[in-house]
């Protein structure tokens, strides 16, 4: 079995340390909400190629965010980086869920709101 390496969320935090004095961007807030929805374990416990592709794609999105934030020269670049990151996380999650649903495995979530 392949060992996967992921960029930790702490690493992403280091990339944004330079912007810590500024208030959190709306795009970053959306991206953080998407991060909270990253699937931590395979649907139905099935570790297939779709699961490993999903995890790899999440890792790639995190690395790309770090790179984009390092290269950002202005506020618009930072906004674009966070927006793209949020979009990628959502896209990859939805694709994985849909792929598994085609195989007959459903993904359910429970949310408790006030």
Domain count, the chain: 1
* Position 107 in a domain: no
- The burial of 69, by beta-carbon neighbours within 10 Å (0-12 exposed, 13-18 middle, 19 or more buried), is given as buried
Q: What is the pLDDT of residues 29-73, one digit of tens each?
A: 999 999 999 999 999 999 999 999 999 999 999 999 999 999 999
Question: How confident is the model over 73-97, as pLDDT tens digits?
Answer: 999 999 999 999 999 999 999 999 9
In a domain, 55, yes or no: yes
| Residue 112, in any domain of the structure | no
Q: Which domain holds residue 95?
A: 9-102
Does some domain include residue 3? no
Q: Is the pLDDT of residue 7 over 60?
A: no
Q: By C-alpha distance, which of 52, 81, 89 is closest to 65?
A: 81
């Amino acid at each position: 079995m392949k060992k996967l390496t992921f960029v930790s969320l702490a690493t992403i935090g280091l990339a944004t340390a330079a912007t810590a004095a500024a208030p959190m961007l709306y795009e970053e807030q959306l991206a953080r909400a998407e991060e909270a929805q990253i699937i931590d374990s395979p649907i139905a416990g099935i570790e297939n190629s779709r699961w490993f592709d999903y995890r790899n794609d999440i890792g790639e999105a995190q690395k790309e965010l770090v790179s984009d934030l390092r290269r950002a020269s202005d506020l618009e670049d930072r906004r674009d980086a966070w927006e793209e990151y949020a979009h990628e996380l959502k896209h990859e999650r939805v694709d994985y869920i849909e792929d598994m649903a085609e195989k007959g495995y459903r993904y359910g979530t429970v949310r408790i709101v006030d």
